[in-house]
Amino acid sequence: MNIILLGPPGAGKGTQARKLVAERGMVQLSTGDMLREAKSSGTEMGNKVAAIMDAGQLVTDEIVIGLIEEKLEGDHAGGFIFDGFPRTLPQADALGELLAKHGTTLDAVIEMRVDDEALVARITARSTCASCGEVYNDQMKPIPDDGKCANCGGTEFKRRADDNEESLRTRLMEYYKKTSPLIGYYYAKGDLSPINGLGEIDVVAKAISKILDA
């Protein structure tokens, strides 16, 4: 089963993807992770990626598709979760062609719907444990009163450098301009399953499971 998690930055796609990896043995394909992995791999493709990224240039769709193709050729019994890709209509077309070439299809596109203002409130309130990566939120899941991470006991927490309102609004605008047309694209193909992305992590996870099990 292959799915896309679609939604604006900060909607919780990464969190849900990690849950699916843990619970269903799916493989998470996040563009950022794939590029970082390629960069440090030392392969021909990796060196190409490293040169582009070091020059501060954008990695082309062709390269990202190439990296995804490498993954499709590997072991993937549990299926793939595409997280952060496709981001544009041409990328969506390319992904569809690539999957078809490998004899597989997209089973669901889960649109995580969230309200912008709630997103701004959520992302600016977010911090993570510096040692284990546990995510906290000032309102919904505050750092424990003793100042220690509930998961590992760590005492150092960091906020993402881009967790400020202005940069989030810029990324949201980018999402609406380039990525949100995918909602109509997958709706027309009959693949779109919208869910409310604003609930608690487990509630959102249940909504996703319901779609995957349908």
What are the residue numbers of the active site? 13, 87, 126, 160, 171
Interface residue with Zn ion among 51, 152, 173, 203 (CB under 5 A) is 152
Q: Which is nearer to Zn ion, 125 or 183 (CB)?
A: 125
CB of 153 to Zn ion, least distance (A): 7
Closer CB to Zn ion, 113 or 126, in the complex: 126
Tokens 């843990």 correspond to 22
| Torsion angle in degrees (nearest 10) through CA of 81, 34, 94, 116 | 60
Min dist. Cβ of residue 152 to Zn ion (A):
3
Show contacts with Zn ion in window 110-149 (CB under 5 A).
129, 131-132, 134, 149
Residue 51 touches Zn ion, criterion: CB under 5 A? no
Confirm or reject binding of residue 151 to Zn ion (CB under 5 A).
yes
Three-class SS state of 42: coil
**Is 24 one of the annotated binding-site residues?**
no
Tokens of 63: 């390269």
Pairing of strands 135-137, 126-129: antiparallel
Query: Does residue number 164 form part of the binding site for Zn ion (CB under 5 A)?
Result: no
98-130: string of b/e by CB count within 10 Å (b at 16+)?
Answer: ebeeeeeebebbbbbebeeeebbebbbbbbbbe
Q: Minimal CA–CA distance to 64: which of 53, 49, 51? A: 49
Name 32's Cβ contacts closer than 8 Å, sequence gap at least 6: 84
Question: Of 61 and 134, which has the nearer Cβ to Zn ion?
Answer: 134
CB 207 to Zn ion: min, Å: 27
Q: Is 103 annotated as ligand-binding?
A: no
31-39 helix and 44-54 helix, angle to the nearest 10 degrees:
110
Q: Considering only residues 66, 78, 79, 154, which one is a binding residue for Zn ion as defined by CB under 5 A?
A: 154
Which segments are annotated as binding site for Zn(2+)? 129, 132, 149, 152
Which residues bind to Zn ion, rule: CB under 5 A?
A: 129, 131-132, 134, 149, 151-152, 154
Which segments are annotated as binding site for ATP? 10-15, 126, 135-136, 199
